[in-house]
């Protein structure tokens, strides 16, 4: 199955990004495809490479980037939401790209299921 994933919250404050990441990993391991992860609202903060959690904690920004590299998952940060929150190319983490909201609608049209994580 082809999944599209929407992440609506940033890392750490809420579990949404963790849950979305774990879902994506599980889906790929089961042989499904994650065609895109679209980051909206505070979710755009998942693409901030300046995020520096303590060494004994998970680094979600990095984990997303590794997922993108290993499984060719397209990580898209919404430009309007990102600019509002200071997420720009110069601080964008590896594996992410910045694009428009149209990418969310397009993803939903192409995916068999669109899953939303975050309140």
Partner 1 sequence: MAEDQPVEFDTQGVKKRFMFVNRRAPYGSIYALEILEMVLISAAFEQHAAIVFIDDGVFQLKKGQDTSALGMKNFSPTYRVVEMEKDDANEDDDIDMVWRIIVEKESLEARGLEADDLLVGVEVMAAEELSALMAAQDVVLSG
Query: Is residue 74 a contact residue for partner 1 (CB under 8 A)?
Result: yes
What is the per-residue burial (b if ≥16 Cβ within 10 Å, else e) of 24-40?
bbebbeeeebbbbbbbb
Q: In whole angstroms, how close is the CB of 108 to partner 1 at the nearest point?
A: 4
Q: In whole angstroms, how close is the CB of 15 to partner 1 at the nearest point?
A: 17
Query: Is residue 64 a contact residue for partner 1 (CB under 8 A)?
Result: no
User: Closer to partner 1 at the Cβ: 54 or 102?
Assistant: 102
- Would you call 78 a catalytic residue per the annotation? yes
Residues numbered 80-99 forming contacts with partner 1, rule: CB under 8 A? 80-81, 95-97, 99
β-strands 113-117, 2-7: how paired?
Answer: parallel
Q: In whole angstroms, how close is the CB of 89 to partner 1 at the nearest point?
A: 11
| Binding-site member from 68, 82, 87, 93 for partner 1 (CB under 8 A) | 68
Residues 60, 68, 78, 104: which is the catalytic one?
78
Task: Reduce the DSSP state of residue 28 to 3 states and report it.
Answer: helix
Task: Provide the 8-state DSSP code for 34.
Answer: E
| Binding-site member from 23, 25, 35, 49 for partner 1 (CB under 8 A) | 35
Of 39, 30, 28, nearest in space to 69 by CA: 28
Tokens 């199955």 map to which residue?
1
Could you tell me the two tokens for 108? 């939903």
Catalytic residues: 78
């Amino acid at each position: 199955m082809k999944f599209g994933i929407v992440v609506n919250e940033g890392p750490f404050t809420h579990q949404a990004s963790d849950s979305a990441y774990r879902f994506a990993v599980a889906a790929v391991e089961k042989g499904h495809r994650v065609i895109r992860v679209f980051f909206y609202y505070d979710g755009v903060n998942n693409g901030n490479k300046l995020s520096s959690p303590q060494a004994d904690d998970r680094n979600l920004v990095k984990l997303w980037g590794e997922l993108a590299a290993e499984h060719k998952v397209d990580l898209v940060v919404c430009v309007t939401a990102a600019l509002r929150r200071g997420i720009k190319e110069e601080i964008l983490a590896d594996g992410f790209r910045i694009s428009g909201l149209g990418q969310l609608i397009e993803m939903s049209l192409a995916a068999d299921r669109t899953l939303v994580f975050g309140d």
